[in-house]
Each structure stands twice: as C-alpha cells, then as structure tokens.
Amino acid sequence: MRVLVTGGAGFIGANFVHQTVRERPDATVTVLDALTYAGNASSLDGLERVELVVGDIADAELVDSLVARHDLVVHFAAESHNDNSLHDPSPFVRTNVVGTFTLLEAVRKHGVRYHHVSTDEVYGDLELDDPAKFTPETPYNPSSPYSATKASSDLLVRAWVRSFGVQATISNCSNNYGPYQHVEKFIPRQITNLVDGVRPRLYGAGQNVRDWIHVDDHNSAVWAIIERGRIGETYLIGADGEKNNLEVVQLILAEFGLGPDDFDHVTDRAGHDLRYAIDASRLRDELGWTPRYTSFADGLRATVEWYRANEAWWRPAKEATERKYAAAGH
Ligand code: NAD
Ligand code: TDX
C-alpha cells in the first residue's frame, strides 16, 4: 500500500509515520510537508520506506501528481497553534481551508481513499461543571481562527463525500501529548522551561480542562478508522483523559522534584476555551478500538524523559518560541 501523509514532519504526522513503518511492512510512505516553523525533517531520521517531498498542500499541480500515485491520503498538515492564529490568521485560512480543498480535488479526480485528521475544537467548549461530552451529533461552534478553519475543512470533506462520492472519513481528536511535539505547545513548553530552570507558565487560573490522549493512541485510532470505518462517517477520538492545566503543571513539576506552587500565572489566552471532553463510544463500540496508554501520569513521565534525552531535537526552536510568547505577554 502506498500512503501519502501530509504534515508527516509535524508532531502527530511524524509519530504516525513511525507507527506505520513499525507495524505495517506492506506500506511505503510519502510525506508531503512544507517544513514550516512546525515541521522538522529530523523527526523522520532513520526510517526506511519513507520519502520526504518538501512542498505545499495548496500547490494543486504538485498535489495532483502525488495523489495520482498513491492508494491512500492521510491528511495531518495544518497550521495547528491557537495562539498563533490569534496573532495572524492568514496562514490558517490558506493551509487549513485552501490546502484541504486542494487535496479533496485531487482525491476526487483520482478516486483515492482519504482520511481527514481534525480536532475536537470544532465543537467549541463545554462548561467546567457540565457532565456532557462532545459526540458526533454536537453542533459545530468553533471559537478561534484555528478551530474555525479546521471546522471549515471538515465541512468541505462532508460536502465532497455527499456531492462527489469521495471515499473519505473524518476524525476529531482531543489534545495529544508525546514525543516530537513542538515546544510552543503546553506540555513541551513547560518541560523544556524546567530543563532551562524557568518556571512553568499557566494561562489564567489554570482551571481550563483538556482531554489528554497519547499520540500513539490517536494514531492507532486513525488506522482503525482507515481500515474499518464507514465512508462518510465522523469518529471522535479520545481516551477519557480529562485534566485541568493546573493538575498537568503540578504533575510535570513533581517529575522535576519541584513543589506544586513553583509556577507563574501569565496573561490568559483571548477567547480561551474552558473545557474539551470526548465521548469516543462510536470508535470503541463499532471499531473495537482501545487506548494503550491508560495512565496519563505514566505517559507524561515517558514524555518528560523523551525531552530530557532529545534536547538536540527541540533546542533549535526554543528561543524563538519564547521570544514570541514574551511579546504576547504569555
Ligand atoms: P504540527 O503543527 O506539529 O505539524 C503540522 C505539520 O504540517 C508541520 O510539519 C508543517 O510543516 C506542516 N505544514 C503546515 N502547513 C503546510 C502546508 N501548507 N503544506 C504542507 N505542509 C504543511 O501539528 P500537529 O499537532 O501534529 O497536528 C496535526 C494535525 O492534527 C492537524 O491537522 C491538527 O489540526 C490535528 N490535531 C492536533 C491535535 C493536537 O493536540 N496537536 C489534536 C487534534 C487534532
Ligand atoms: O504556556 C502555556 N500555558 C498554558 O496554560 C500554553 C502554551 C498553554 N496553556 C494552556 C492553554 C490550553 O488551555 O494549556 C492548554 C493547552 O494549550 P495548547 O497546547 O496550546 O493546546 P490547545 O489550545 O488546547 O490546542 C491543542 O489541542 C487541540 C492543539 O494545539 C490543537 O492543534 C488541537 O486541535
């Protein structure tokens, strides 16, 4: 099977490529990645049966020629960081909306199976004290430019399935953690700050809740949907990992032998979503998927160890990232 992975030099995409090479000897992988600030070719070092094509998913000619020679497209490429989307939304519209449109036109023309990777943020947020979780029936209600462009891309996929019979599935996953995540994101930022002797930075009071899932569990769910999912269907991916940001910071502090108050509060994010929570019943009941990382504390410990052991991977991005945060008051 010839698999085209967009965004395969980013966090989740690179872990997907590692898992695919490890577990699927019949697969060859082409990664299409623009190597933006978030892409890192070294995340794919040492992998066999992987070719990296450096290019833009909004480049219709390139995308058409690549899609024509593959059996499956798995679309991870995106502008993915909420804080950046508040500073400058324009690349989010281009990559997330126009890029997805470009891929859909190519899979339509060549009749290629397509899986669309999306986020639970398309549903907006939940109240902290609300027992409800997101389900596939929850209405779309995105809050940020990032989530609005992801929601737009999901709607394009649904329309291409219905109008043109494109063979597509969609997944909406909760917050991922694990190796190869950019240091701009919450967990790697705090870990690498602590390596540098800098106190963690909590937005607002730290009461916002995210539903954490290990990146390998996200990717095993993506494979389950590709192999056994119903065409045109949306699957929510989550592993019952709700934690507020304060709890996460305190777990990380404990890994460094520091106390529960050894962090700073900084300016909150504009429009900051309160809580995300996923009901993954369809994925579990229909496709028989289960997560392997059932202990967040254990998964987090392994992630802290990964960042300690792989400073050469993250160090080049650290200073510029912190400069951007300082300018925004975070
Ligand atoms: P990331 O920012 O780490 O990686 C994105 C990758 O896409 C980078 O390698 C970048 O170079 C590439 N890219 C960006 N613009 C491109 C373009 N125009 N053409 C080609 N390549 C381009 O993102 P991530 O966290 O790995 O997220 C991957 C996908 O998963 C995204 O679609 C995101 O919306 C979705 N998602 C992420 C999470 C999460 O917690 N990180 C949760 C749910 C869904
Ligand atoms: O320094 C920080 N301090 C802090 O308190 C940072 C960077 C973040 N936060 C908070 C904001 C959020 O409540 O931590 C939480 C997680 O922040 P991010 O890592 O920026 O993730 P989030 O905004 O929740 O979005 C992530 O999950 C859904 C991914 O970045 C998205 O791509 C994905 O769709």
CA angle 145, 150, 156 (to 5 degrees): 125
**118 close to 111: Cβ distance less than 8 angstroms:** no
Structure confidence by residue, pLDDT tens digits, 66-81: 999 999 999 999 999 9
- Which amino acid is residue 181, in one-letter code? Q
Q: Which of 79, 120, 217, 273 is catalytic?
A: 120
- Residue among 262, 259, 249 nearest 207 (CA): 249
Query: Nearest ligand, CA of residue 144?
Result: 2
The reported pLDDT for the residue numbered 199 is 98
- Helices marked H in the chain: 11-23, 60-68, 82-87, 90-92, 100-110, 145-164, 186-195, 215-228, 245-255, 281-287, 296-309, 311-327
325 carries an active-site annotation? no
Q: Which residues contact 257 (CB under 8 A, 6 or more apart)?
A: none
Residue 76 Cβ inside 6 Å of ligand 1? The answer reads yes
Does the ipTM exceed 0.90?
A: yes
CA distances to 8, 131, 287, 290 from 281, in Å: 28, 16, 10, 10
Q: Does 95 contact ligand 1 (Cβ within 6 A)? A: yes
Residue among 146, 153, 187 at smallest CA distance from 171: 153
pLDDT tens for residues 139-173? 999 999 999 999 999 999 999 999 999 999 999 99
Radius of gyration of the chain (CA): 19
Tell me what pLDDT residue 316 has. Answer: 98
- Is 146 touching ligand 1 by the criterion CB < 6 Å? no
CA distance 92 to 3: 25
- Asked whether 32 and 66 are in contact (CB, 8 A), the reply is yes
Q: Give me ligand 2 centre to Cα 175, in Å.
A: 8
Catalytic residue among 114, 123, 146, 276: 146
Q: Which two tokens stand for residue 267?
A: 């300016």
Q: pLDDT at position 203, please?
A: 98
Chunked mean pLDDT (size 10), the chain, 330 residues: 99 99 98 98 97 99 98 99 98 99 99 99 96 97 98 99 98 98 98 98 97 98 98 98 98 98 97 98 98 97 98 98 96
Instruction: Provide the pLDDT for residue 152.
Output: 99
CATH number of 2-177+213-237: 3.40.50.720
| pTM of the shown model | 0.99
Task: Write down the pLDDT at residue 74.
Answer: 99
Q: Supply the pLDDT for residue 157.
A: 99
Q: Classify 237 as helix, strand or coil.
A: strand
Reduced to 3 states (helix: H, G, I; strand: E, B; else coil), residue 209 is: strand
CA distance 107 to 202: 42
Q: Cα separation of 102 and 94, whole Å? A: 10
Ligand minimally distant from the alpha carbon of residue 10 = 1
Confirm if 238 and 280 have CB atoms less than 8 A apart: yes
Q: Which residues have CB under 8 Å from 91's CB, separation 6+?
A: 36, 79
Name the amino acid, one letter, at 327. A
In the prediction, which pLDDT does 1 show? Answer: 97
Identify the CA nearest to 74 among candidates 49, 52, 107: 107
Q: Which sequence spans correspond to the domains of the chain? A: 2-177+213-237
pLDDT for 82:
98
Four-point Cα dihedral 192, 249, 181, 168, nearest 10:
-170
Name the residue with tokens 């990559």. 95
For ligand 2, pick from 152, 185, 208 the residue to mutate: most ligand atoms within 8 Å of CB. Answer: 185
Q: How is residue 124 written in tokens?
A: 């907006």
Contact 169, 233 (CB under 8 A): yes
- 235 flagged as catalytic: no
